[in-house]
Structure formats: C-alpha cells, structure tokens
Structure 1
Amino acid sequence: MALKGLTRFRTFQAQSITFGNASMEILLNSSTPDQLLNISTAKLTKILKTASKGRLDEDKALFIIDIT
C-alpha cells in the first residue's frame, strides 16, 4: 500500500469525525485503506444513508470517494 493511500485514509478519518455513526459504519465495512479505496459508490451510499438515517446521500459518497 502506498503512503499516499494511507494519508488519504487518515484525512478521511479526521474529516469524518463529525458524522459519528456514518463514519463508524464506513470504517467497520472498510477497515483498511485499500478497502476504502476500492469501495463502490453504491455500497458507500447505502452505508451512509442507513447510518445517517437518510441525512447523507450519494453526494457525500462521491465526496468521500473523491478524497480517497
């Protein structure tokens, strides 16, 4: 795994602290940087919608994928 991937993973962790349940669910489903880098938009959107009770959607999933 490249250092760049790890840095992006840590950036995601730091930025997502405010989202509580959603960030925890993402990390439970993508516990390594490689898993986070390879998560599909559809799967990430489903995790976000469920964990945030509909507050986060595909736009947030695309943002997360873009920073990773």
Structure 2
Amino acid sequence: MFFRKKGKIRKIEDERLLAFIEKQKKQLEMQQQMVENSVDPSEEVLYRLKLTKAKYLFLLKEARVRNTSKR
C-alpha cells in the first residue's frame, strides 16, 4: 500500500530524465554544427561543446544505471 507512491515517483522522474536527455542531445547537435560551420571557433564555444557533451554522456550513463528507456 505504501510502496505504490515510490513506483509512481520513479516513473515520473524517469520520464523527466528521458526528456532532459533529448533536450541535451538537441543542444549538443546544434553546438556541434556551429563548430563545424565556423571557420575559427572561439575557446568559449569549444568549452561549451565539451561541457554539453559531458552532461549528455553523464545523463546517458544515469539512464543506463536506472534501466530506463523509451518504450
């Protein structure tokens, strides 16, 4: 009786995690295109690209640990 809420919260948080992963993926792709299209990207742009990529990879690992996937 008391454990149903825990499962519901986990499901909601897993959905939030997957939505955030999609958002980070789109942002990463956009930044990668910006770097590819620029002649001489600045250090800040390269730094932001690395940071976004690290966040995206961290979120993927977290989803893998939690056994979440799109269905």
Between structure 1 and structure 2, the one with the greater Rg is 2
Larger RCO (CA within 8 A; separation ≥ 6): 2
TM-score > 0.5, shorter chain as reference = no
TM-score by length of 2: 0.32
What's the TM-score once normalised by structure 1's chain length?
A: 0.33
Question: Which of the two has greater helix per residue?
Answer: 2
